[in-house]
A and B are shown apart, each in its own frame.
Chain A
Amino acid sequence: MRYGMVISLSRCIGCNACSIACKHENGTGPGVFWRKVIITESGKYPQAAMHALPLLCNHCEDPSCAKVCPVKATKMDANGMVTIDAKKCIGCRYCMTACPYNVRAYVRSNDKGYFDEGLTEYEKAVYGEHKVGTVEKCTFCAQRVEEGKNPACVQTCPAKALFFGDLDDPASQVAKLLTDNPNAKTLKPEAGTKPKVFYI
């Protein structure tokens, strides 16, 4: 089993619903985005176009982040997800430097919220789950996947531009999409990390 994601750039409308769904699904604090959608443009007027590029952990087959982790906190699970064991992580942030995709976040605190007046009831309820001094990132919403659900970003996508599933299962939607789109791309293939997030 190898969980992976296929992102249809021809469907993504750049609304960032996924980015915000990720925030409450994972209770991340100010400034922390485990995923995001970057808005850009290309071309010359009037042959110009606007683009949206969703970015998240690529759950690489050959993750450079795992290689540099001195305490083996980052590893690839049997299902293909690249995960971080917060109990082991010492916060050295080598992995953040090694990651070619800049999608990891360091937990500086879990008691600072969005407002000067202190944490709201919501923030009090969720920030404590993040261990200060560790590195975090997209988990493919493992907690949801365990329950048979899609990651929060996939479910919430208004454009149905995101697809998640087992790349090894030829019957899965992601496998079919990759079969139908042999030119599917990954980010920075030259880094040799073999991402499992594909763009079509």
Chain B
Amino acid sequence: MSKDSLANKMSRRTFLKVSAATAAAVAAGDQLLGGNGVGVLEANAAPAADDGWYPGVCKMCMQGDCQQRVHVVDGVVVKVEGDPQGRQNFGALCPRGNASIMQMYNPWRVKKPLKRTNPQKGLDVDPGFVEISWDEALQTVADRLKPIKESDPRKLVCVSGFGVRSALLGNFEQAFGTPNDVPSRGSACAYHIAGHITHQRGPDGVPDLDRCNYFIDVGHTLGPNIANSSPGTRNVLDAIERGCKIIDIDPRCSQEASKYAEWVPIRPGSELAFFLAMLHTMLYEIGTLDIWYLKARTNGPYLIDPEGEFVKDGSGKPLMWNEAAGRAVPFDTPDYMDCALEGTYTVNGVTCHPAFQLVKDQMEEYTPEWSEQHTTISAATVRRIANDFVEHAQIGATVDIDGFTFPLRPVGIVSERGPYQHTNEGPMQDFVTKIICQMVGAIEVPGGMSGCSMPHPDWLKPDEEGIRIANYEAGADYFGYPWSWPLNFADLRQFYPVSHTLVWALPKTILEPEKYHMDYRIEALMSCGGGPVRSGFDREAFEKAWAAVPFHFVFALTYDENAILADIVLPDSSFLEKDTFHGGSSAPPGHKVMVDSSRGLNVFLFRDASKITKPYDSRNMDEVLVDLADKLGIMTGPDGMAAKANNSLRNAPLDTGKKFTLREWSEASLKQTYGADKKLDDITDESGPVYFYSTRGAKNYNYYYQPDNQTRTPIYYINLLRVAKKFKENLEAAGLSEVPGWEGDMDYFFEAFTPIPKWMTCPEFNPPPEYDLWAINWKTPMAPFFCGDTFGNVWLHETMKKFDPYEFSIWINTATAEEKGIKDGDKVCVESRYGKAEGYVKVTELIHPEVLGFPSGHGASSSKANPITAEGPYFNALCNIDEKNRGVDPLTAGVESGPAVKIYKV
């Protein structure tokens, strides 16, 4: 008998019987209380009408665009699977997506709205939660927010994370009037700026795996360790099978790296040295460069004056030196191939050099022998990799696509979390990888590196200086965030103008507003889907700050740390029980590659959850925000939430005179991009998703839109120089000589704001001798991050515990373990200058001898969470967010997370 038919055997009558029994047991005070001691299993009074398969979209990770099918029997989700019609996942679903059933049916969830009765707050303090109705909960929130809205809306801070992708939160914030949208995601993602300046919109540089033949992967995953049912996993394996050679440079070896051509272990915090030496080798030893690309498509020929600025003509155009003519010419000259990349020239009495010359000069000292002392990678290996990279670049090769001739440069480099997460050193090495790729012309052409947004005619458009316009955090006017004074944003983004995210700043501005020049105090906090207490790298600081905010309401799936510290807890629905849509591009972040199946793909996925019975008294956060806006009187009118939502719904605007439903909003979103004739009802399990490709063929590569010398990318990052200059002027105008927290250390603060990369070390690189090792951390296939309640999921937990002896352990190299008298399974303490983490050792050959490995984000829990969430070592305890320790990166605001440590048995 088939499983389906077996499942269908369960009649509605049976279900009602079960529900009735549940209700009776609750009434009798039976042991059906949740594991946290609050809330009860809700009896389901209204069983769903229709059994069968329904379309869905998986939201177990930050990517959230895998198409899912859900089998519903009597209102219960009994199966999920990837939809073979899905253009992202083609029927695949990762372990987390498969485990989503246990996210939904989980007695450790928050089951009813709660209010705190104990005014004292702390992670170890019993909040004294009592259940309340949704009406009371929302009225309480509205009553607390109204005076804030009327006095100064900035006093409300909203902290969101990947765990809930509330598309309406931004509109709520806008209608409320607070600029303080502070994502708690991304504090470990300080790697976007070089991509945003060099590539297209970013947020990341990704390889063209359909054509790439040689790829250097640095502390990074191409797919298997993140959203692993997305294209990266399949396509990296396909690429390997067709002969693409991938080199993994990383202190530890992964499953993915084990399939690559080579694993090259490196000392943490030295990746910059490796790439400086690789660039040195290319410039001084190999000498084979894509001269055409450098002259036609980079700012390499631009003449640089002694101040570091471009030498310009009277009309403001940067100048290059035409060697044939013996004079300076504007950058848009048709004779660009006659222009010099090297030399010293005098223009209008100013001594100047082409930017390329300055980059080359800077690299002279960084020999492979020099790098070996820092990286532990031999000079011969550096030379071999540099030579292989250049050889595989096939400089001069072309490929015709749709009759359009492209340069073909099938090589690439991507760095990520590991190397990036070092103050100053990290982002700097990323810039070097971009320069290396430009030296062989492997930018936005077939085979090479591209930004991971969808291809688009505008992304490589040049500014008036001929260089592509930087975006996002390196954005307009070179500032990701506009300067304002007095301080407007509570996350200090004015002081970190090209940063990514700054949730670590909140404890500082909450606890010491005057020190940070805040002219207001944070009086209310809303948090959802993120765990800055857990993931913000200073648990105690966040605990103290969260406890100090007068009013905190939280949308919570489980009793995480945010919930424990909140005044009002609003139970969020599991994504499986929400009407949910995904409408947008296939653009990564989670997709770590660009391949034909995802380039230019626009897809609209919708989950119709109407047939699924919610096990607990939870609500969709977006729906609650609509109700809250209504209670606050900020729903309607020209500045209301509906009007704000309409900013992205110009083709199918909502009625701004009334409260909208989520289905109305979802359908408007569908019509906006996919056509006025589209309806949600048309999206069924049979139909599959609505999708179209905005680009195909030649238009899949941004070079197509600005070919030849029509745009340029920077090898000389003048943006950073200009940001620093402008930022210093802004500080001075505000009467400040230093950035708060960086008193006496401003030279270090500005060290990475340099147009040409140079060797600089992170604060963990030369620690006191007793800290003789470094700790690192990475994503794992089953538990890449917190969102989706990964660590509280019993299926994921059970699978990891049973079959993966590496997952909950602290990795130590065999030789190091022997030297220290540590054996496999020993309990140890790892101690940095900032904190300690305990765990059990896995002795392995898969890690650098100077390194201790902490997989995933285990070990953080709360007093009312499922105890399984507390298992494993807690890496973040080893890090810090103190400016005095240089714990955060001035350029990207990333948190230094490669701490120097020592280890001992306990």
Which residue of A14, A20, A31, A115 contacts B99 across the interface (Cβ within 8 Å)? A20
Which chain A residues numbered 141 to 161 have a C-beta less than 8 Å away from chain B?
141-144, 146-147, 152, 155-161
Highest count of chain B CB atoms <10 Å: which of A21, A37, A144: A21
The answer to whether B799 has its CB under 8 Å from any CB of chain A is yes
The answer to whether B810 has its CB under 8 Å from any CB of chain A is no
Q: Which residues of the partner chain A approach B802 to less than 8 Å between Cβ atoms?
A: 33, 36
Highest count of chain A CB atoms <10 Å: which of B2, B32, B92, B258: B258
- CB of B462 to closest CB in A, whole Å: 39
The answer to whether A132 has its CB under 8 Å from any CB of chain B is no
Contact B804 A14 (CB under 8 A): yes
Q: Which residues of the partner chain A approach B95 to less than 8 Å between Cβ atoms?
A: 15-17, 19-20
Contact A120 B803 (CB under 8 A): no
Stretch at the interface among B78-86, B306-314, B489-497, B723-731: B78-86
The answer to whether A38 has its CB under 8 Å from any CB of chain B is yes
**Are A21 and B263 CB-contacts (below 8 A) given A158-B228, A158-B233?**
no
Highest count of chain B CB atoms <10 Å: which of A14, A15, A38: A15
The answer to whether B365 has its CB under 8 Å from any CB of chain A is no
Contact A13 B256 (CB under 8 A): yes
Contact B101 A122 (CB under 8 A): yes
Contact with A along B14-48 (1 / 0, CB 8 A): 01001000000100000111110000010010000
The answer to whether A24 has its CB under 8 Å from any CB of chain B is yes
Q: Which residues of the partner chain A approach B35 to less than 8 Å between Cβ atoms?
A: 115-117
Stretch at the interface among A40-48, A64-72, A102-110, A187-195: A40-48
Which chain B residues numbered 80 to 127 have a C-beta less than 8 Å away from chain A?
80-82, 84, 89, 91-95, 97-99, 101-102, 104-108
The answer to whether B259 has its CB under 8 Å from any CB of chain A is yes
Which residue of B84, B224, B263 contacts A13 across the interface (Cβ within 8 Å)? B224
Which residue of B73, B104, B264, B844 contacts A125 across the interface (Cβ within 8 Å)? B73
Contact B94 A125 (CB under 8 A): no
Contact A16 B803 (CB under 8 A): yes
Which chain A residues numbered 77 to 131 have a C-beta less than 8 Å away from chain B?
114-118, 120-126, 128-129
Contact A123 B234 (CB under 8 A): no
- CB of B262 to closest CB in A, whole Å: 9
Which residue of B74, B257, B849 contacts A45 across the interface (Cβ within 8 Å)? B849
Contact A50 B258 (CB under 8 A): yes
Highest count of chain A CB atoms <10 Å: which of B224, B615, B803: B803
Contact A17 B229 (CB under 8 A): yes
Q: Which residues of the partner chain A approach B233 to less than 8 Å between Cβ atoms?
A: 13, 158-159
Which residue of B94, B106, B253, B781 contacts A14 across the interface (Cβ within 8 Å)? B781
Q: Which residues of the partner chain B approach A157 to less than 8 Å between Cβ atoms?
A: 92
Q: Which residues of the partner chain B approach A14 to less than 8 Å between Cβ atoms?
A: 255, 781, 804
Contact B105 A13 (CB under 8 A): no
Q: Which residues of the partner chain B approach A48 to less than 8 Å between Cβ atoms?
A: 253, 263, 844-846
A191 vs B735: C-alpha distance when bound (angstroms): 82
Q: Which residues of the partner chain A approach B25 to less than 8 Å between Cβ atoms?
A: 118
Contact A45 B845 (CB under 8 A): yes
The answer to whether A133 has its CB under 8 Å from any CB of chain B is no
Contact B799 A19 (CB under 8 A): yes
Which chain B residues numbered 241 to 262 have a C-beta less than 8 Å away from chain A?
241, 253-259
Contact A143 B4 (CB under 8 A): yes
Which chain B residues numbered 781 to 811 have a C-beta less than 8 Å away from chain A?
781-782, 794-796, 798-800, 802-806
Contact B265 A45 (CB under 8 A): yes
The answer to whether B358 has its CB under 8 Å from any CB of chain A is no
Which chain B residues numbered 828 to 846 have a C-beta less than 8 Å away from chain A?
844-846
Contact B228 A44 (CB under 8 A): no
Contact A45 B815 (CB under 8 A): yes
The answer to whether B6 has its CB under 8 Å from any CB of chain A is yes
Contact A24 B255 (CB under 8 A): no
Which chain B residues numbered 263 to 279 have a C-beta less than 8 Å away from chain A?
263-265
Q: Which residues of the partner chain A approach B7 to less than 8 Å between Cβ atoms?
A: 27, 125-126, 129
The answer to whether A25 has its CB under 8 Å from any CB of chain B is yes
Which residue of B89, B97, B796, B844 contacts A41 across the interface (Cβ within 8 Å)? B844
A-B contact pairs, 14 of them (CB 8 A): A15-B224, A20-B799, A39-B804, A45-B815, A45-B846, A50-B255, A115-B35, A115-B106, A121-B44, A126-B7, A126-B78, A143-B5, A156-B81, A156-B82
Residues of A within 8 A of B (CB): 10-11, 13-17, 19-21, 23-27, 30-31, 33, 36-39, 41, 43-46, 48-52, 114-118, 120-126, 128-129, 141-144, 146-147, 152, 155-161
Extra contacts besides A15-B781, A41-B845, A143-B5 (9): CB < 8 Å:
A10-B259, A20-B99, A24-B80, A45-B847, A48-B253, A115-B35, A125-B7, A129-B7, A155-B91
